[in-house]
Amino acid sequence: MLVRLLKVPPTPISPQCKALFYCSDKCRADDWVSSGNPDHCHQQWCCRMKVFMDFEPILRKLPFTFAPITTAPDFSWFKLDRMLSYFGVNRLGLWKYEFPSTSYSRSYQIPPGADLPLFSDLWTTTTMGSEKHASTILSSFCSASYDDALIRAFVSPSFAVIMSLSPSCESSAPDLQEPTLMNINLRDWLDYYKWRGLCSADEESISNPLALLLHWPLTLYHIAAHKLPQIKPYYIPKILTNRKLVIHVIGVEKELSLLPVFKELDLLFKPELRICIYFIGRHFDAAADRVVYHLSPRLSITVWSGLYHEFLHAQKLTSELPDLIIGFNAGLAGYLTWPVALSSIGETGVPAFFTDSCLYSSLWGFQVTSSLGLGPSSLDSILYDCCHQSSTETQSCLVLNPFRSPIRIEAPGVRWGWFSNAFIFSPFYTEDYSQQQSDLPQRMSSMSV
């Protein structure tokens, strides 16, 4: 797309979608056909972008008192800076890693994981291949140093206290159908906040900002609780029989610096399960590479610096395949390393889920896997099914994430919303979309979005 950030009021592209800004009418005309890159030409994407814009009210619908501000089209880093200052967390603790663009501290320059020693009382560590087991090396998680580390992480003492306590309420959601990997059924942020004691049982809007950090572990929870059983239902009994769940999280960046928030997973999975998570990505701090962080006696995160296909090759003789592969905010069309990784994932046959910040990026993820012969190619049918979901239980290869971040990401040149972990998709989904007609305009006209 030929878009630019302008200092003067831009010209909307067309009355059909009103989705893009251009620097001039000539720029707009050139993009309509885009002879140099026809796959990106607006003529192909105009109808879909109209759907993106129509979907905005649903995307912005979240139960937070601050959501009307943080999801609005005019939300900016300046407003975010002011909001974080209001809560007393701006440029501090874990908040400065989640929102580095608002921070003037060195966290903007250091590699992921460099500051993990600040929170070292929240875990113990071994190295890959170590014979030591977590249960023999974990110290008490009730010490003063542990509490201090929680305050360093979450900044607010009240936030730290809440995160140190076990949930005292039952979820209002119906129990998950057995067999399930999860300890609790949480359908959305409101369910989670009530269960965790972050708001009262009768509240329908919530003001605590912890969702700005917790969308990472809650997104992983939602995939394991609701999406994996839809795609591979027979995996669940196998995992429960083995009493062990192995998850590869790939393309990791800031998630490593936010390691303390993943301790929340210990409360969400069934207590009899041992949970082994691998963080695979590039540009990690060297001191974190090949380290196993034991967040609880049964929850560990192993860090491996490198590309995913390199990791699979290095581990194929010594490690089993994972039960689940996840890539947060993947941007499959944005990085040259993804095709090799996707081909490697396709060869394993392991269920894989990715998230992305908007529908456009998600659909391009399907374009990439389709070009590799690994997934469906009918983008219009995929988009229609996503926008026509009646609940999170809908079986579709592209879904809106109920645990998406409530903070709108500035995206110069476009008018549809971008939110971290906004959509979840499985580009290797087996349902046959190839035979469905591309009649998106007619199908969307019957929708109320």
- Helix/strand/coil for 184: coil
How does pLDDT run across 370-390, given as a tens digit for each residue?
Answer: 999 887 878 888 888 888 775
Which residues are CB-contacts of 72 (< 8 A; sequence separation ≥ 6)? 60, 408
Q: Mind giving me the DSSP string for 22-68?
A: ESSHHHHHHHHH-TT-GGG-HHHHHHHHHHHHHTHHHHT--SBTTHH
In this predicted model, which residue has the larger pLDDT, 273 or 205?
273
Which residues are CB-contacts of 133 (< 8 A; sequence separation ≥ 6)? none
Q: How many helices (H) and strands (E) does the chain have?
A: 20, 11
Bin 170: left if φ > 0, else alpha if -120 < ψ < 50, else beta: beta
Asked whether the CA dihedral 346, 351, 354, 360 is positive or negative, the reply is: positive
Highest average pLDDT, of 133-147, 192-206, 263-277, 312-326, comes from 263-277
Check residue 26 and give its pLDDT: 77
CB contact burial 409-428 (16+ within 10 A = b; e otherwise): beeebbbbbbbbbbbbbbbb
Mean pLDDT across 233-243: 96
Mean pLDDT across 328-342: 95
Check residue 213 and give its pLDDT: 99
Lowest mean pLDDT among 23-37, 115-129, 279-293, 397-411: 23-37
* DSSP code of residue 182: B
Domain ranges of the chain: 11-53, 55-444
Contact at 8 Å (CB) between 211 and 408? no
Mean pLDDT across 426-440: 56
Reading the block at residue 140, the tokens are 């008490």
Lowest mean pLDDT among 4-8, 325-329, 425-429: 4-8
Compute the residue count for the chain. 449
Check residue 1 and give its pLDDT: 43
In this structure, which amino acid lies at residue 428? F
**Structure pTM?**
0.91
The rounded distance, in Å, linking the Cα atoms of 177 and 51 is 33
Mean pLDDT across 319-335: 93
Mean pLDDT across 1-16: 53
Reading the block at residue 376, the tokens are 């469906």
Reading the block at residue 89, the tokens are 């967390």
- Helix/strand/coil for 111: coil
How does pLDDT run across 202-233, given as a tens digit for each residue?
Answer: 888 899 999 999 999 999 999 999 999 998 99
pLDDT of residue 407 exceeding 70 = yes
- Helix/strand/coil for 427: coil
The edge-to-edge listing of strands for the beta sheet with 299-305 is 124-127, 291-296, 299-305, 274-281, 244-250, 324-327, 352-356, 423-425, 398-400
The rounded distance, in Å, linking the Cα atoms of 279 and 262 is 12
- Long-range interactions of 339-343: CB distance < 8 A, separation 24+: 339/368, 339/372, 340/307, 340/309, 341/250, 341/251, 341/307, 341/308, 341/309, 342/368, 342/369, 342/372, 342/374, 342/427, 343/309, 343/372, 343/374
* Average model confidence (pLDDT) across the chain: 86
The pLDDT confidence band at residue 12, using thresholds 50, 70 and 90, is low
